[in-house]
Structure 1
Amino acid sequence: MFVKFLRNNKVMAGVLAFLRVYIGYQWLTAGYGKITGGFDASGYLQGAVASAGGDHPAVQGWWATFLEAVALPNAEMFTFLVMWGEFLVGIALILGIFTSFAALMAVTMNFAFLFSGTVSTNAQMVLITVFLLVAGYNAGRYGLDRRVIPFLKAHNPRQKNSKKVAVA
């Protein structure tokens, strides 16, 4: 019942738009700060790997192994992905375009940061973003999704009742 309310209610769409813009602003400013501030992920990755040791590790061993074997050797690529991923997710959420995909990428990044031992506001951001994911289209109703999603559905050849577009 709550999910149906979350997915269909227009008042809830307004609340979701507020939450979407809030989360988007957090991502946008974090990404912009990294893009303009000379961010390098290698130090963060090394710190996460170091946090996997001791009596009460903040990072699980399996994640530290991934960071050490995959992320650290490719730190330049991960630096690029983090700063531009944060920035672009922020823009998409603020504009309400491809909202569900942007929210999914936001949750993915938040979990990567949580797995790496960062707690900060990541758990709060995950919780809010889960509401955006569950709401689906309604989270982007008051955004560009309102125009883009119907357009894409109308021009999708796999849709049953899609409009046929004549090619001249």
Structure 2
Amino acid sequence: MFVEFLRTNKFVAGFLAIIRIYLGYQWMTGGWGKITGGGFDASGFLQGAVEKASGDHPAVQGWWAAFLENVAIPGADIFTFLVMWGEFLVGIALILGIFTNFAALMGIIMNFAFVLSGTVSTNGQMILLTAFLLVAGYNAGRFGLDRFVIPFLREKVKERVSQRKNTLAGAH
């Protein structure tokens, strides 16, 4: 019942737009600061996360530290690029309400990666708010560009499916 309410109610869509724009602003400004700051390098953050995996009460789980050591740190340049541009693009998409669900999914994945790396900050709050956007589905982008883009894409997909069916039917 609550999920249906989140997914269909137009007043909720307005509230979700506020949440979406807030989260988008947080992501966009975080990413833009990294892009324009000129000094962002994820390798220091990654090394710090690996160091948090030791001691009596590690903040980072061993399996995550192993991933960071064996994948992320050797590919720190790629992760640097992905983090700064990912944050910025997720923010723009959420603010505009375009591909909202995909942007929210990518944002929550980044939030979880930061939390798994031992950083709390605002990530917990952002995960909770993003969960509402994801559960709300299309309604989260109703008052954004998704209002126009999603129906257009649905129509294009229907046309392609219809063309394929006709092609397959004609081949028999």
Change (3 A) 1:36 1:70: same
| Larger gyration radius, structure 1 or structure 2 | 2
Secondary structure in 1 matching 2:88:
helix
AA partner of residue 146 (structure 2): D
Q: Deviating runs (4+, > 6 A) in structure 1?
A: none
Residue by residue, what CA displacement relative to the aligned partner does 1:87-110 show, whole Å, maximum 9, x if unpaired?
000000000000000000000000
Higher helix share: 2
Mapped to 2, the partners of 1:81 and 1:87 lie a distance apart of 10
1:11 aligned onto 2:7: no
Residue by residue, what CA displacement relative to the aligned partner does 1:39-88 show, whole Å, maximum 9, x if unpaired?
00000000000000000100000000000000000000000000000000
Contact 1:153/1:159, CA 8 A, preserved across alignment: no
Matches within 5 A, 1:1-168: 1-37=1-37, 38-156=39-157, 157-158=160-161
Residue by residue, what CA displacement relative to the aligned partner does 1:91-145 show, whole Å, maximum 9, x if unpaired?
0000000000000000000000000000000000000000000000000000000
Between Structure 1 and Structure 2, how many residues are aligned? 160
AA partner of residue 20 (structure 1): R
Mapped to 1, the partners of 2:129 and 2:162 lie a distance apart of 31
Mapped to 2, the partners of 1:158 and 1:58 lie a distance apart of 49
Mapped to 1, the partners of 2:12 and 2:89 lie a distance apart of 25
The TM-score, its normalising length taken from structure 2, stands at: 0.91
Q: In percent, how many aligned pairs have the same letter?
A: 74
Unpaired runs of at least 5, structure 1: 161-168
Unpaired runs of at least 5, structure 2: 164-172
Q: What is the RMSD of the two structures over their aligned residues, measured on CA atoms?
A: 1.1
Contact 1:95/1:143, CA 8 A, preserved across alignment: yes
Mapped to 2, the partners of 1:35 and 1:64 lie a distance apart of 26
